[in-house]
Amino acid sequence: MPADASPLGYRTRPTKTLLSVEKLRKQFTTGDVAAVERVSFDLGEGEMLALLGPSGCGKTTTLRMIGGFEPPDEGRIALNGRDITHLPPEARGIGFVFQDYALFPHLSVLDNVKFGLRKLSRAQAEARAKDMLALVGLESLCTRKPHELSGGQQQRVALARTLAVAPPLVLLDEPFSNLDAAMRVETRQEVRKLLKSAGSAAILVTHDQEEAMAVADRIAVMEKGRVIQIGTPDEIYRNPVSAFVASFLGRSNILNGTASGMEVKTEFGTLPLSRAANGAVSLSVRPEQIMLEADPNGPACVVGREFRGHDQLYWVQEGERCMLVISGAGAMIDVGARVRLRICDCVVPLA
């Protein structure tokens, strides 16, 4: 296993820095609040970073500034140490995969991929395009037009066209949003594999937390124009820094308590903390950290249940609070049953 890889296959830290984004800011005249507010991060060579957040958080504007499609009001962008902040898109050497793929409908698949290779001879361009189509598994479809392909195939053609010019960095703006649920799962893994095979780094914009965790080496969670937390999917899921991050990346129950060192007193008793804290704190408790115990005299009641095949999601009411609980697919507890809740893992103090 590489020194910078985790057991999950994600990079735990960037390798040699490819891209540096420093204090980017953008405010549109139609709004009183900046769309992007002093966003900074580095991207390593061959690394995949997801910009994750709700609509309007500034992730697409950040991507467009990196690509050169939107000028920043402040800040600096450097690629391989070269300042590209004010260069036009075509002078940056960055690949861009658009949400609608932007394929030319009148050109064949092969000609679409060849389009960006105009500096090569005809023979060289055709050979390169065929190599890229082989990489994405579409060499047998090179004579078809885009409308004759499925959504997933169009996505791969768009990626082949981008990778054909060997960009060190590829930007992807919600690239899977036009695909159905099953195709999204299949295509996003193909795209990750293809980018890794090509050695290109990538920045993916998405509002889908499952997609971000499945594809990215690291995730930058954005809220109101700012990067709130950046880290591997595992780090952010297990140690969110705020209630927003805890609730946006997966589901979470937010509790209050009084902390003292590595312990916290809560309505569910004294619990261990994942990191030291003192005084009044908010806490993140993931639904899978809670156990349900059937008890006719229990203080809580199951008010909803969702069977999901591999597990079950329960809504459990205790007093004024409704808790989310995930348990295995085995024994079911009926809606209306009385239960007790037991938290069986360290809880996370939030900022």
Tell me the per-residue pLDDT of 233-289, one tens digit each, with 9 for 90 and over.
Answer: 999 999 999 999 999 998 999 999 999 999 999 988 899 999 999 999 999 999 999
The percentage of residues in the chain with a pLDDT greater than 70, rounded to a whole number, is 95
H or E stretch covering 257: strand 253-266
- Over the stretch 19-32, which tens digit does the pLDDT of each residue have? 999 999 999 876 67
What does the pLDDT look like over 36-75, one tens digit per residue? 999 999 999 999 999 999 999 999 999 999 999 999 999 9
Q: Do domains 17-93+167-245 and 251-350 have the same CATH topology?
A: no
Indicate the CATH number for domain 251-350: 2.40.50.140
Of 19, 21, 15, 18, which Cα lies nearest the Cα of 2? 15
Contact 341, 316 (CB under 8 A): yes
Report the relative pairing of strands 300-307 and 348-350 from DSSP bridges: unpaired
Confidence of residue 168 (pLDDT cuts 50, 70, 90): very high
Q: CA geometry: angle at 165 spanning 77 and 76, to 5°?
A: 5
Q: Which CATH architecture has domain 17-93+167-245?
A: 3-Layer(aba) Sandwich (3.40)
- Cβ atoms of 149 and 137 within 8 Å: the answer is no
Q: What is the pLDDT of residue 2?
A: 39
Instruction: Report the DSSP beta bridge partners of residue 221.
Output: 52, 229
- Output the pLDDT for position 31: 63
Domain ranges of the chain: 17-93+167-245, 251-350
| Residue 25: per-residue pLDDT | 96
Higher local confidence (pLDDT), 183 or 212:
212
- Whether the pLDDT of residue 145 is over 50: the answer is yes
The phi, psi pair for 193, rounded to 5°, reads -65, -40
- Residue 144 pLDDT level (bands cut at 50, 70, 90): very high
Give the CA angle between residues 110, 115, 116 to the nearest 5°: 125
Q: Please tell me which residue, 191 or 85, carries the higher pLDDT value.
A: 85
Mean pLDDT across the chain: 89
% of the chain residues with pLDDT over 90: 63
Query: Rounded to whole angstroms, how far apart are CA atoms 143 and 169?
Result: 28
* 56 Rama sector, left if φ>0, alpha if ψ -120 to 50, beta otherwise: left
